[in-house]
Structures are given as structure tokens and as C-alpha cells.
Amino acid sequence: MIGEKEKKTPVMKYVLVFSVAFVQVFFLLGISMAGQGAYDNAADGSEDVIGTSAAKTSPAVKPDTAEKRAAPVPQAIVVDDQSYENGPIINSTGTGVGGADESVLKNLTLSMGTLGYACDMAEEFRVADDFTVENRLKIEKISVYAYQVGAPVSPASISSINMRIWDGPPSEAESAIVWGDDTTNRMESAKWYEAYRVTESKSGTSDERAIVEVLAKVETEVDPGTYWIDYQISGEQSYSEAWCLPIAASQEITTGNALHYFGVGETTGWRSLDDQGTDTSQGLSFKINPKPVYPLPLMVPPVIGPNSVR
């Protein structure tokens, strides 16, 4: 019996050492995976195909949709019949799979690293960015852009969006919500934007990140000033979490001052929406459809005289 125990003891030691090592590795991997959950980064290999690309079809882009790609430089909204875009979402026209446009992450020429930012309801992430108005206006709708890795172009996989408008940065305690909440589904429509989010190294070959334009119904009026929108999105659970897109950089590595909210973990709160390759702040691409609000005309009561018809 003693001999048998002596033979088993070294084996048990090896099992114990292996178990401890396995737990340590698993723990470290868990920390690493948790840290990457907020960013869809090119550097970690996540730009590789997820799912079966061959199972989807990539229809050709209609030529009459090309004019929507030219987005103005971010500026104060001027109230007229035009929509306002907070920076371009497309920086390469017609170069994608099937002739689609592309939102290209400049991972080679500018060393940028983040394809998208987590904004999924289930994971309690949110994103926010600001805009300025010069005249009182009515905001009817706001379009934002997102994707789920591996989702088809049709039907769009995004199913809901909640949104708020603030009178200041949502990260500051003195800021107040002037419209919206974090529970009501404001989605009016979601459709493929006839474009893909890709890295430079996969331009023309990757269709795993079909960009979806998510249209939120707002219908509220705002006075002149600077405001912030913040929102989160959800989609089909059979694909990846929802990722929101930054402005598509062309030559610059800093594109705005957007914010990113972490709702779980020890790092709960707002932080700068930074590219993980260059550590520079980014802006979000969104579009606002406004209408001017004119003051009511002064109503002058009619003058009633002896010859007036009553």
C-alpha cells in the first residue's frame, strides 16, 4: 500500500500543477477577451472572416445612389432644406465586393486599429457625439451607422435603437436630457447602406461587415446651441454584437471628440472614443434631418369701423 501511494504522489503533483497553470491561463485570457469586447480591432485578427462569406450574396450597387456618399466637413447646422452629416462614413467609392462602397480603416497608411466601437444594448455600451445648431429647428430623424460581423445585407440584422439628446456632454453631471430615454425603441427603419467596413488590407475582398443605416424617429425642437446625442443598438443574437462606426478617416487620425460608455465592470462610465492603434479621439458618423421652425406671425385684430362688414 505504501508503495502504491508513493507511485501515485508524483502523478497527483503533475495534475495539480497542470490544473493551476490551466486556471491561470484561462483567467488571463478571460481578462484579455473582456478588454477587447469594447472594440472591433484590426490588430487582434478580428478582421478575418467570421461565418461563411460564400453563403451570402453581394448585389451590385445601384449607380443612382452614389451622390449620397459625399459628406460635408463637420460644421454647425444651417437651417435649410438640406440634411447635415457629421463627417463621412464612406472614403472609398465602388471598391468593395460587388461594386459596393467601403468605409476603409487606414490600418496600413495611418496605423489605425479600430474598425468599430461596441454600442450593443445587451453589453450596456453607448456612444455619443455633439452637434451645433444656429437657429431654432425641428429634428425629425437621425441616421446612425452600425454593423454586425457576419450578418447578411438583406434583411438588415439591426432591430432596435434607443437615443437621447443632451444639452451638454453626457459625461458631465450638470448636463441634462432634453429629449429621449434609454429604453424606447426609436427605430423607423434599418437597411444596408450598400457599403462595407473593411481594413486597407482587405479592401475589395471582405464583405463580413455590411454597414447598416439605422434611422431613428425623433420629432423634437431645439433652440440654438450645442447638443449631444447618445445611443445604443441591438440586433440579431445569432451574429456578433452591434458595432457603431466612426468617421471614415482619409488622411487625418483625429476625427472628432465622441464619447464611449462602458456600462459594466470596474471601468463603468464615459471615456473618449479613441482609436486603439493611434490612441487618437474619433468622431461618429451620423446624419440629422432638420426643418426650420419659424415664429408664428403676429395676429393683428381687424379694425371695425362704420363701413366694416361684420
pLDDT in tens, 251-289: 999 999 999 999 987 689 999 999 999 999 999 999 998
Is 309 a member of any domain? Answer: no
Q: Is the pLDDT of residue 72 over 50?
A: no
SS3 string, 27-61, reads HHHHHHHHHHCCEEECCCCCCCCCCCHHHCCCCCC
Nearest of 67, 200, 226, 48 to residue 134 by alpha carbon: 226
Q: Same domain for 124 and 271?
A: yes
Query: Which SS3 state, helix, strand or coil, does residue 180 take?
Result: strand
The total of other beta-carbon atoms located within 10 Å of residue 91's CB is 19
Is 6 a member of any domain? Answer: yes
Q: Same domain for 27 and 42?
A: no
Q: Same domain for 29 and 48?
A: no
To the nearest whole percent, how much of the chain has pLDDT over 70? 70
What pLDDT, on a 0 to 100 scale, did the predictor assign at position 5? 41
Is 303 a member of any domain? Answer: no
What pLDDT, on a 0 to 100 scale, did the predictor assign at position 260? 97
To the nearest whole percent, how much of the chain has pLDDT over 90? 58
Q: Same domain for 51 and 18?
A: no
Q: Same domain for 72 and 202?
A: yes
Q: Same domain for 43 and 180?
A: yes
Q: Same domain for 173 and 267?
A: yes
What pLDDT, on a 0 to 100 scale, did the predictor assign at position 145? 97
Question: How does residue 15 score in pLDDT terms, banded at 50, 70 and 90?
Answer: very low
Q: Same domain for 56 and 181?
A: yes
Q: Same domain for 69 and 1?
A: no
Q: What angle do CA 260, 244, 197 make, to 5 degrees?
A: 135
Is 308 a member of any domain? Answer: no
What's the number of domains the chain is made of?
2
Higher-confidence residue of 201 and 24: namely: 201
Q: Round to whole Å and give the CA distance between 38 and 126.
A: 10
Q: Is the pLDDT of residue 207 over 90?
A: yes
| Range of weakest confidence among 86-95, 175-184, 253-262, 264-273 | 264-273
Is 307 a member of any domain? Answer: no
Question: How does residue 293 score in pLDDT terms, banded at 50, 70 and 90?
Answer: confident
Is 121 a member of any domain? Answer: yes
Q: Round to whole Å and give the CA distance between 244 and 203.
A: 19
69: containing domain:
37-292
Question: How does residue 298 score in pLDDT terms, banded at 50, 70 and 90?
Answer: low
Question: What integer is the mean pLDDT of 197-225?
Answer: 95
Q: Same domain for 19 and 43?
A: no
What pLDDT, on a 0 to 100 scale, did the predictor assign at position 306? 53
Could you report the per-residue pLDDT of 96-144, keeping only the tens digit for each? 999 999 999 999 999 999 999 999 999 899 999 999 998 889 999 999 9
Q: Same domain for 137 and 26?
A: no
Question: How does residue 301 score in pLDDT terms, banded at 50, 70 and 90?
Answer: low
Higher-confidence residue of 82 and 39: namely: 39
Is 304 a member of any domain? Answer: no
Is 136 a member of any domain? Answer: yes
Q: Same domain for 130 and 265?
A: yes
The total of other beta-carbon atoms located within 10 Å of residue 25's CB is 10
